[in-house]
Amino acid sequence: MAKKYSEKLKDPRWQKIRLKVLERDGWACRKCLADDRTLHVHHLYYVSGKEPWEYDLDALMTLCEECHQDEYEYRREAEDKLLEVCRILKLWADEVDTLACDLFAAGHAEQPRALFEALSWAMRAGEGQRAVMAAFEHRRRAGGEANPEADPK
């Protein structure tokens, strides 16, 4: 009979990986930076059939109990929201795939949090938002590829 997930987390192989992650992260939550709370090692993703200790260290991060619970509870809703936005924007499947591949590549080339901050800033900043909206409007009118250089006038 297969072990329950909670039993697998008692395995010495997981415990060794867990300690490496906690040490790498300075025994602090990577999200809120708390170092005085109960800490968990969070899997950023799961692969079917893979044991908890079989992931690269890059796929694991330290979160405090509160941030870990928030991530667990909100993740599915946030991912569904992102897909809904792609549908509302009428992105084709290949465009969603390209977006995913580009984000993945950029996230590995730079620090993922820095990438998120830069994208978020650009989308909220007046000029960045206008450029993005101009690209969407250009695409809507032309029925072709989005062009970030499009003149919004």
* Structure confidence by residue, pLDDT tens digits, 55-86: 999 999 999 999 999 998 998 898 898 888 88
Mean of pLDDT over the chain: 83
Residue 8's pLDDT is what? 93
In a domain, 1, yes or no: no
The pLDDT of residue 79 is 87
- Are 100 and 135 in the same domain? yes
Distance between CA atoms of residues 100 and 122, nearest Å: 18
What domain range includes position 71? Answer: 7-88
Distance of alpha carbon 60 from alpha carbon 63, whole angstroms: 10
**pTM exceeds cut of 0.75:** no
Is residue 57 in a domain?
A: yes
Q: What pLDDT score does 39 carry?
A: 98
Please check whether residue 2 lies inside any domain of the structure: no
Looking at residues 125-145, what average pLDDT do you find? 63
